[in-house]
Amino acid sequence: MKIIIIGATGTIGSEVVKALLQNKHEVVRASRNGEVKVNLDDPASIRGLFDKIQGVDAVVSCAGNAAFKPFAELTDADYELGLRSKLMGQVSLARIAKDHLRDGGSIVLTTGVLAMHPMLGSASISMVNAGLEGFVRAAALEMPRGIRINAVSPPWVKETMIKFGMDPSPGQAAADVAKAYLAAVEGRRQGQVLDPRLVQA
């Protein structure tokens, strides 16, 4: 399959690229500052991506930002960041991709464990992740031409925990998280939120 991956240089994205290449897919790496440029916050940039890269079977997003800070300190701008970037950036990707992917194509978005299992500081991220999961469940009912849409909800990733000075032992390695993206792209799931700790194929 010909697959665009957005956020291809990130901790998870780079492992998803490896996993897709290993399964002999043709991979187009897209990111804000990479080989192929795209900015999910800007629908025109997403449309430009699909104009440039034709005949795409699947698009995987490992992109999107949201603010993590104590509830009492979250500002309007913090909420706005998550809404514009991680939530509506990926919603825009799905809205545009559905008109450009080949018949039977696949859209895979990224939410996160905080959607259903919040922690101190996650009010904005939990809102954004849960909202995206609600969107995926609903949009799946109306995808045209056999196109599928799913989300992967990564747990804490070992590499990220190490970067933040946290104990990585309860986390999952990014390479294992990547397997859930592969399952979402290649399988027959529709409207699902995949937990990489539970889904391997």
Q: With H, G, I as helix, E, B as strand and everything else as coil, classify residue 89.
A: helix
Could you count the other beta carbons within 10 Å of the beta carbon of residue 8? 24
Stretch that binds its own copies, among 10-18, 22-30, 132-140, 154-162 (CB under 8 A): 132-140
CB of 90 to its own copies, least distance (A): 11
* Residue 159 sits in the site that holds its own copies (CB under 8 A): no
In this structure, the strands spanning 26-31 and 36-37 are parallel
By beta-carbon proximity to its own copies, the closer residue of 31 and 106 is: 106
Inter-residue contact 12 to 6 (CB < 8 Å) = no
- Rounded (10°) angle between helices 88-100 and 43-52: 30
Q: How far apart are CA 179 and CA 18, in angstroms?
A: 10
The one among 5, 12, 108, 127 contacting its own copies by CB under 8 A: 127
Site for its own copies in 19-58 (CB under 8 A): 43
Q: What is the DSSP letter of 157?
A: B
By beta-carbon proximity to its own copies, the closer residue of 71 and 163 is: 71
By beta-carbon proximity to its own copies, the closer residue of 14 and 39 is: 39
Question: In this structure, which amino acid lies at residue 119?
Answer: M
* Residue 101 sits in the site that holds its own copies (CB under 8 A): no
Q: With H, G, I as helix, E, B as strand and everything else as coil, classify residue 45.
A: helix
The one among 16, 59, 97, 128 contacting its own copies by CB under 8 A: 128
By beta-carbon proximity to its own copies, the closer residue of 119 and 173 is: 119
- List CB contacts of 148: < 8 A, sequence separation 6 or more: 104, 105, 106, 107, 140, 188, 189, 190
By beta-carbon proximity to its own copies, the closer residue of 62 and 140 is: 140
What does 65-78 look like in DSSP terms, one character per residue? Answer: ------GGG--HHH
Binding mask 66-85 for its own copies (x = CB under 8 A): ----xxx-x-x--x---x--
Stretch that binds its own copies, among 47-55, 138-146, 158-166, 169-177 (CB under 8 A): 138-146
* Binding region for its own copies (CB under 8 A): 43, 70-72, 74, 76, 79, 83, 87-88, 91, 95, 98, 114-116, 118-135, 137-144, 191
